[in-house]
Chain A
């Protein structure tokens, strides 16, 4: 049992510590979501040659705070035929796994909620739990758009979990540990995992975009087809919890995973300079790396159009999963064949990445040619009848 500071009873400290940790995580998520929404709006505005929010506060900084206050103050409104218990439970079911994920993320040397030796498995587990809440939300709304949105989301999340977890496993094989702290510690200096397994990073990045429902994979909430997907019937703070807090929280988590696994997490110049400056600098590097990925996510949202559901599924099952499986097999074989050096793994990974990037246009060309041939056959077959 850990004795508390200032002569506190260890039993009291146990609960007090829990309380402090939960409050800190909540504050982090709430403020993080506000900052991220502001950034999203500003960045999209800049890319689309607009100004974005600028009325409330300096540079419009307080706009999202005002929006959040409005959401909290809104009337608790529900459509008549919703499934009350499930409707209320769904936002909590989506939010709580996301909140619990922050436990294992190493923010700086020594600053981590719990150094679980199965940290990455724990994150994958919680990531898969959110699907349940989304399906329940779609079901409980008693609305066909919500239902279709929830089902699409479940299909998409379950499909893209496979390449996501396979890419994570590849990184775990290279590092040799599932603990997030050990993974961050194993990449000192400039030679981080991104140079060793770039293909796993690219596949995880794609899977992460899909798992957080970001463009170009934001089909569950495709507003032109499905109103707002599983969020259609939600309003007020329930909508705020589901969309703003959970979506941006999940984006933060996948970006933190990417920066920890492939870019060394808190590693950077000056992290072992002292007991105070080390963690502060580590926190700075970690935040910078994570937010860099978040900015890329926002950039993609402002740039790419949305995929169709069949394109989404066939890309995942026909291309991404075979590729990640091949990558996993090659990495595992090379790691067993050459246990002392990571150079063969790196060479194989870079070659596979090149094949992936250069092969995509070829595959696309072949697909288009096949579709056109089929169309031509159909028109020829239909011609005599008309």
Chain B
């Protein structure tokens, strides 16, 4: 037994956990369970990034998605009034429509995934801090700035929406 075998095993475990927890998020009947399973999915995604050698992205994944977004979702859940009516709004049972839409969305993803053969010229350690930072601030400066403007607009919108009067 050697280390070569560990990587596929880890990949399999992580993939199973991601798909299983993702299904759990959709199918669970309680909003807190869904939120916690979502955090679990994000953690496993971070594990995938570590497996790919992109520890920086994995750390940001956990920092932002587990540490901030999931907590904010839980925060929101706890401020919503609890009762059977609220759950009825959260969990709509439109299984057939949902299944058809999911299948339609899955088809292009699967087509891309099965057409994938070779990663080509990916530089080793491309997910490290320094290459990541330099590519964000040189090659992808415009998308990065556009995303920050979008976030700023969203934040101002949220403040305007919740401001009294």
Contact = CB atoms under 8 A, between A and B. Distances in A.
Contacts of A128: 62-63, 66-68
Please indicate which of the listed interface residues A127, A132, A158 has the most CB atoms of chain B within 10 Å of its own CB: A132
A122 interface: yes
A371 interface: no
A18 B72 CA distance: 34
B89 interface: no
B59 interface: yes
Interface residues of A, number: 30
A139 B129 CA distance: 37
B86 to A, nearest CB: 15
A125 B1 contact: no
Interface residues of B, number: 23
B2 A11 contact: yes
Interface string B79-110: 00000000000000000000000000000000
Contact of A178 (B2, B32, B129): B129
Contact of A135 (B55, B59, B75): B75
A82 to B, nearest CB: 13
B125 to A, nearest CB: 10
A132 B63 contact: no
Nearest to A150: B78
Interface in B110-149: 128-129
Interface stretch (A113-121, A220-228, A359-367): A113-121
Nearest to B3: A1
Given A86-B32, A116-B55, A136 B62 contact: no
A193 B40 CA distance: 38
Contacts of A178: 129
Interface in A91-147: 116-118, 121-122, 124-125, 127-129, 131-132, 135-136, 138-139, 147
A89 to B, nearest CB: 8
B59 A122 contact: yes
Contacts of B128: 117
B71 A139 contact: no
B62 to A, nearest CB: 5
A154 interface: yes
Contacts of A158: 68, 71-72
B18 interface: no
Nearest to A120: B59
A158 B36 CA distance: 18
B59 to A, nearest CB: 5
Contact of A147 (B56, B67, B78): B78
A129 B62 contact: yes
A14 B6 CA distance: 12
Interface of A: 1, 11, 14, 83, 86, 89, 116-118, 121-122, 124-125, 127-129, 131-132, 135-136, 138-139, 147, 150-151, 154-155, 158, 161, 178
27 contacts: A11-B3, A14-B3, A83-B32, A89-B36, A117-B55, A117-B129, A118-B59, A121-B56, A121-B60, A122-B55, A122-B59, A125-B59, A128-B63, A128-B67, A128-B68, A129-B66, A131-B67, A132-B36, A132-B39, A132-B70, A132-B74, A135-B74, A136-B32, A138-B78, A139-B74, A154-B75, A158-B71
